[in-house]
């Protein structure tokens, strides 16, 4: 099954990001394909290289980058939401890219399921 994921919440403030990551990892382990993760609204904060959590905490941005790299997942950040929050290409973490809402629509069309995390 092809799965697309939409994340609307930022890291460290809501459970949505952690739940989405665990869902994606479990889906891959079960043999499904996660084709794209689209970060929207405050979810764009999951993609910034400026995140520096304490050493004893999980590094959510690095988790997504590693999962995307290892499994060929397209990690897309909404351009409008990113710019509203001061996120530009130069401060994106490796593996993420900025694009428009068309990428979300395409994910919904191409995937068998589009799963949303966060409000």
Measured distance CA(79)–CA(41) in Å, rounded: 10
Question: Domain spanning 2-117 has what CATH number?
Answer: 3.40.1260.10
What is the Cα–Cα distance from 95 to 18, expressed in whole angstroms? 18
Task: Give pLDDT, residue 25.
Answer: 98
d(CA 30, CA 64): 18
Provide the pLDDT for residue 56. Answer: 87
Nearest to 64 by CA among 100, 95, 31, 86: 95
pLDDT reported for residue 9? 97
- The answer to whether 78 is a known catalytic residue is yes
Catalytic residue (choose from 47, 76, 78, 98)? 78
61 φ/ψ sector (left φ>0, alpha ψ -120 to 50, else beta):
alpha
Length of the chain in terms of residues written: 119
- pTM comes to 0.96
83-111 residues labelled b (16+ CB within 10 A) or e (exposed):
eebebeeeebbebbebeeeebbebbeeeb
Give the start-end residues of each E strand in 40-79.
Answer: 74-78
**Domain ranges for the chain:** 2-117
For the chain, list residues with pLDDT below 50. none
């Amino acid at each position: 099954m092809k799965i697309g994921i939409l994340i609307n919440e930022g890291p460290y403030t809501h459970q949505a990001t952690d739940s989405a990551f665990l869902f994606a990892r479990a889906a891959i382990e079960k043999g499904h394909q996660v084709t794209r993760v689209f970060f929207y609204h405050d979810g764009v904060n999951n993609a910034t290289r400026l995140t520096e959590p304490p050493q004893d905490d999980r590094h959510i941005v690095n988790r997504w980058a590693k999962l995307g790299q290892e499994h060929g997942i397209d990690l897309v950040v909404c351009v409008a939401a990113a710019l509203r929050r001061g996120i530009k290409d130069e401060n994106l973490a490796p593996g993420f890219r900025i694009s428009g809402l068309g990428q979300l629509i395409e994910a919904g069309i191409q995937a068998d399921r589009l799963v949303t995390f966060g409000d």
